[in-house]
Structure formats: C-alpha cells, structure tokens
Amino acid sequence: MKKIINDPNKVVMDMLKGIELASPDRLKVVPDTTVIARKDAPVANKVALISGGGSGHEPAHAGYVGPGMLDAAVAGEVFTSPTPDQILEAIKAVHGGSGVFLIIKNYTGDVMNFEMAAELAEAEGIEVEKVVVNDDVAVENSSFTTGRRGIAGTIFVHKIAGTKAESGGSLAEVKAVAEKVNMNVRSMGMALSPCTVPAAGKPSFVLNENEMEIGIGIHGEPGIERKNITTADEIATELTKRILDDIDYTGSEVAVMVNGLGATPEMELYIVNAKVHSILADKGIKVYKTFVGEYMTSLEMAGCSISILKLDDELKDLLNAKSQASAFRV
C-alpha cells in the first residue's frame, strides 16, 4: 500500500484537522466530533443542511460546506457510514430553529444511521426531513444498497437545496426541491483500477492490465460488466446511453458533471466531456452548465462517472447562484 498517511486507523481525524486548518475563517470541526461545519453555524432561522457518509470520497462532503450549500458534513470512517451519534452531533451543532434537512446517499448503512439520528433529534424537539439520493443507473441493488446507489449526482442536490435554504426556503420547500433534483438526475461510473482502504492495506478487488469495469460503485462495488478497455469515446457513449435510456431528456436543458474518481488526470475527464457534449448535441439536448473535475471520489481509484441533470427554470436559477463552498464553483 502506497499512501501518504500516518496511522492507517487515524486517517479521518488527521484529515479533518487538515481541513479545518486550511480554512479556519470558513470551517470548524465541531469539538470532539467528526463533523465539519460552517464557521458561523448555527445560522438562525435558516434550514440547516447536512450530508455525509463514509470518508474517502473527498471533496465529498466537507468540500461542500459553506454558505449556499451544506451547513455540515459528517465523516464516517473510510467507506463506512458515520454512526447515529455522530450524525446527531451534526444536527445539534447546526440547527438554527428552522429545521434540519439530511441529504443521504442511498447505502443501507447510511440510510439506517441517518434515520436513527433523525429520530433521536426529533425526540429532542428538532424537526428533521431528508432525501435519499439514488442517481446511479448501473444496478438496481448492490452489495451495499437496496435500490439504486447514490453517487456524484448528490452534489447537485447539495447545491440546489443549499441555495434554496440559503435564500429562505422552508424545510418543506427545501425537501421538495431536493426531491425534484433527485428525480431528474442520473449518473453512471466506470473504473480502470481499484483503491485501497488504508486500514485494509490492500485493494478491495483486482482488474487485469487491460480490463475496466462499467457501472462500478464508489466503494468498488461490482458494476454491470468487466471488459477490455475501449476508447474514451466508447466509454462516454456507453455511460451516456444508459443515462439517457433511463429518463426522457428530449428537448431539455441539462447540467453535465464529468467526475474523476481519484487517480484520473483532468486531461482524460475533458476528453470524456467533449464526447458527452457531442452526443447530447446530436440528440438536441442543450447543455446549460458543465462541471469537470473531482467531485465525488473513491480514494485513488482511476475512472470517472457522468451525471446528467434535467433542468427547468427553478433549478437553473438555484444551480447558478454563487456558493461559498470550496469544492463547487458555478
């Protein structure tokens, strides 16, 4: 295992310290927790947004904490859901009297623990609502999930629901727009190489020298198919086709995200982006906004995912507003 770490069992705490030190004017670690919150949290009379999950997907989710996006991100151990107690700490740290909204990626552990935390918070008189994001069209169920998995499309939920909350939306309004994003975003990924959880010390699976996996999950969960590596154009075509087959984007404007899984050079993401744009143009689908970079990674996995969000005027306005989160720039 080649990693720049200290104790493999303390990578999350070491990372959180580094994140806080990088942005002391904007972010804070809530004392004695694994929660990164807005420095000014709790913000009075604003719906507070929380996301999180296992670590190893950086910049998800701490990179999306800031005005106009999340109020807090809860970090579990690498690829492991945070506990209900950790999530409850986040809820208590950021609720400002207008309710708390949880953005959960659809993995069994995350859903269970975030829901348990919500119940505990409600018992303390805090109103909590949630969305469970399930944008990954690759598989209906997987080793970690009942139903579709939540992957990079989650970042659009952070941004759009976050802006809704920042501009004074009620808990019900934030929930409604978050569900609208989830209904209209689809994603799919692929990988050329696996990644290694520090505490495990070896890769979670193996791909041969000429092999790639289509439809892989962000923890290395199996996808749809292993096959020989093809060209960027063929990869972009296959991922985009499965997304477009899933909902009708005809005549729509869309936002596109080409997301790197960790080890993929930005050069390759842009090459994929060029093909995605060409496919969408051929189908008369207009790209309103494009995001290329690392938004939701899997440690040092090589590969990418494509997400496409169908937009209407409301979603365009909310997507377009400036936010102060370090990892998302409109």
d(C-alpha 72, C-alpha 156), whole Å: 16
Whether 57 is catalytic is yes
Q: Give least dist CB 204 to its own copies, A.
A: 15
Angle at 308 between CA 307 and CA 310, to 5 degrees: 150
Q: Give least dist CB 313 to its own copies, A.
A: 18
87/302 with CB nearer its own copies: 302
Report in angstroms the alpha-carbon separations of 239 from 81, 142, 272, 307. 27, 18, 10, 9
Q: Give least dist CB 92 to its own copies, A.
A: 25
Give the footprint of its own copies on this chain (CB under 8 A): 2-6, 11, 14-19, 21-23, 55-56, 58-59, 63, 192-193, 209, 212, 229, 231-233, 235, 262-274, 277, 287, 290-292, 294, 297, 299-300, 302-304, 326, 329
**CA 310 to centroid of chain Cα atoms:** 17
170/278 with CB nearer its own copies: 278
> Using an 8 Å Cβ cutoff, are 213 and 222 in contact?
yes
Q: Give least dist CB 63 to its own copies, A.
A: 8
Whether 95 is catalytic is no
Q: Give least dist CB 81 to its own copies, A.
A: 17
d(C-alpha 70, C-alpha 48), whole Å: 7
Out of 57, 61, 95, 158, which one is annotated catalytic? 57
86/323 with CB nearer its own copies: 323
121/269 with CB nearer its own copies: 269
Out of 61, 158, 219, 277, which one is annotated catalytic? 219
181/239 with CB nearer its own copies: 239
Report in angstroms the alpha-carbon separations of 253 from 93, 175, 236, 278. 38, 23, 19, 14
Helix/strand number for the chain, H first, E second: 8, 12
- Residue the block writes with tokens 């005005």: 67
Catalytic residues: 57, 219
